[in-house]
A and B are shown apart, each in its own frame.
Chain A
Amino acid sequence: MSYLLKEKPKKLINENGLRLDGRKRLELRPIKLKVGTLKNANGSAYIEWGRNKIIVAVYGPREIHPKHMALPTEARLRCRYSMAAFSTPERKRPGPDRRSIELSKVIKEALKPALFLERFPKTAIDVFIEVLESEGGTRVASITAASIALADAGIPMRDLVAACAAGKVDGQIVLDLNSAEDMYGEADLPIAMMPRKKEITLIQMDGKMSIDEFNESLKICIDACDKIYEVQRKALIEKFKV
């Protein structure tokens, strides 16, 4: 379905302040979060964030292979972000590319501060992220789901990690960019944080923004992360109540 509508739409936000998918400026896409969807994994989670569909599995702590990868004082956290061939409008060639290798790294760094890795020296904790369908903002959705999968695996954590993106589109600051806004907008600012202490564990930006705009984006992101944290908490309580 990639052959049509390739050119940039004239306006990403219409005169009524509504975006292409009918959302308001500071509106999140609907988020559905399910805990423990896979049988084999120690912990797992499935998230539907707008049309993003992502499944996350956690294995471990388990013996590390090859052995020389083991760290003497803490567990090694390993992340693998990968996109299914049919997840994007154009078919993506299977296997890791430079983008997914970078995303794996930043997602790992986003989750690491929340874990008590020092309790499991010389082991590995593996987080596998499979993007089944993507519509912009897969990294924040992945982090949100991965932290739930880690909790589901019974791995001790300091806090959950909630993530969300803000950005600048048609000169306005908007929350939670979809793929068209990501592609044609002016700036994109994904943020992950531990909501309790408001500690940011991931921040990236591309595009152009003034300092005021950045501050506003940051603020709406933090508010959104609190909302997402509630979704995460509810999903966990839902799964484990009685």
Chain B
Amino acid sequence: MSEVVPPLQKNYIANLVKKGKRIDSRKLDEYREIKITPSFIGNAEGSALVELGGTKVLVGIKLEIGEPFKDTPDKGVLITNAELVPLASPEFEPGPPDENAIELARVVDRGIRESEALNLEKMVIKEGEHVWLTFIDIHILDHDGNLFDASTIGAVTALLTAKKPKAYMENGEVKIVDEWEPLPMEWIPASVTIGRINEKLMVDPNFEEENVLDAKICIVFDDGNKICAIQKVFGVLSIEQMKEAVKLSEKKSSEIRQMIMEAVKGEVEKHEKRKGKKQKNR
């Protein structure tokens, strides 16, 4: 479908953008409303529901104990998986992840891995034998554009609120105690997606805009103002546009980071309460 609509709509959107306007009456550098609900799933060690305008993304963190990779015996394992579930959009089909899902998962993974947000060296129980496997599962529930940012916000929030039990080695076996601690998070990455129509750049393109964009790029910043990942999704950008995009995303990423911090404040307390209740249930 999306390949048919553009010609009829592109002029309309492009003309608005030329005047600095958007179809949903935002400014070019304005995000849609971001709503973050941390700790949405009780069964997950950490989770977050992110609503970015009409886009809805649910991210869950699951922890397991397993073997490290051979080449990094002193590091925990981080695995990111994205599901474009067919209820989110008529364009998503059931079946194994397609290239879009894999790209999405890898971009989110890269942002978190490259920024060293999660200190994987502290996720080791016994070097070379037992480490924590951290699964980040991204579930797209409703697709209204800009899945990259919503997923990164969700993954980071979920990691920040996640708790793991203490584990140690005893007589060659892993023992787990009922004492929960937060994951060793050190940085807070935030991603900003920027679209280009003709000469104009805009942040957070929605679904209709994404369909007619000339180029889309996703830039991830950590909180030391360093770029930690870039993914050009499609299209071309000139050097000037690229520089402008980086500047724009630096500004926007700090705003997003503040929202994440706001959302996870006081989550620690709630988590304790919930955990207590859950154990009573069992």
| Residues of chain A lying within 8 A (CB to CB) of residue B278 | 1
A119 on the interface (CB 8 Å rule)? Answer: no
The 8 closest A-B pairs by CB, nearest first: A86-B60, A57-B87, A128-B87, A86-B44, A91-B62, A85-B137, A39-B54, A3-B176
| Residues of chain A lying within 8 A (CB to CB) of residue B42 | 51, 133
Is there contact, CB below 8 Å, between A56 and B281? no
- How many residues belonging to A are interface residues under a CB distance threshold of 8 Å? 41
User: Complex: how many Å from CA A73 to CA B80?
Assistant: 44
Majority secondary structure of chain A interface residues (helix, strand, loop or mixed): loop
A132 on the interface (CB 8 Å rule)? Answer: yes
B279 on the interface (CB 8 Å rule)? Answer: yes
| Residues of chain A lying within 8 A (CB to CB) of residue B258 | none
Is there contact, CB below 8 Å, between B142 and A3? no
Mask, A72-85, CB within 8 Å of B = 1, is 00000000101011
- A residues contacting B by CB (< 8 A) are 1, 3-5, 9, 20-21, 38-41, 44, 51, 53, 55-57, 59, 62, 80, 82, 84-89, 91, 94-96, 126, 128-130, 132-135, 178, 180
Q: Separation in Å of the B91 CB from the closest CB of chain A?
A: 9
A128 and B85 in contact, given A89-B43, A95-B96 (Cβ under 8 angstroms) = yes
The 8 Å CB contact of B87, one of A38, A53, A91, A135, is A38
User: Complex: how many Å from CA A86 to CA B142?
Assistant: 18
Is there contact, CB below 8 Å, between A20 and B281? yes
A57 closest partner in B (C-beta):
B87
| Residues of chain B lying within 8 A (CB to CB) of residue A57 | 87-88
Range class of the B interface residue count: 35 or more
Is there contact, CB below 8 Å, between B87 and A86? no
A53 closest partner in B (C-beta):
B41
The 8 Å CB contact of A84, one of B60, B144, B279, is B60
User: Complex: how many Å from CA A78 to CA B48?
Assistant: 30
Within 8 A of A (CB), among B209-252: none
User: Complex: how many Å from CA A9 to CA B135?
Assistant: 29
User: Complex: how many Å from CA A94 to CA B279?
Assistant: 26
The 8 Å CB contact of A1, one of B43, B54, B142, is B43
Q: Separation in Å of the B62 CB from the closest CB of chain A?
A: 4
User: Complex: how many Å from CA A82 to CA B93?
Assistant: 13
Within 8 A of A (CB), among B63-86: 64-65, 81, 83, 85-86
Is there contact, CB below 8 Å, between B62 and A86? yes
| Residues of chain A lying within 8 A (CB to CB) of residue B43 | 1, 51, 86-89, 133-135
Is there contact, CB below 8 Å, between B144 and A39? yes
A134 closest partner in B (C-beta):
B43
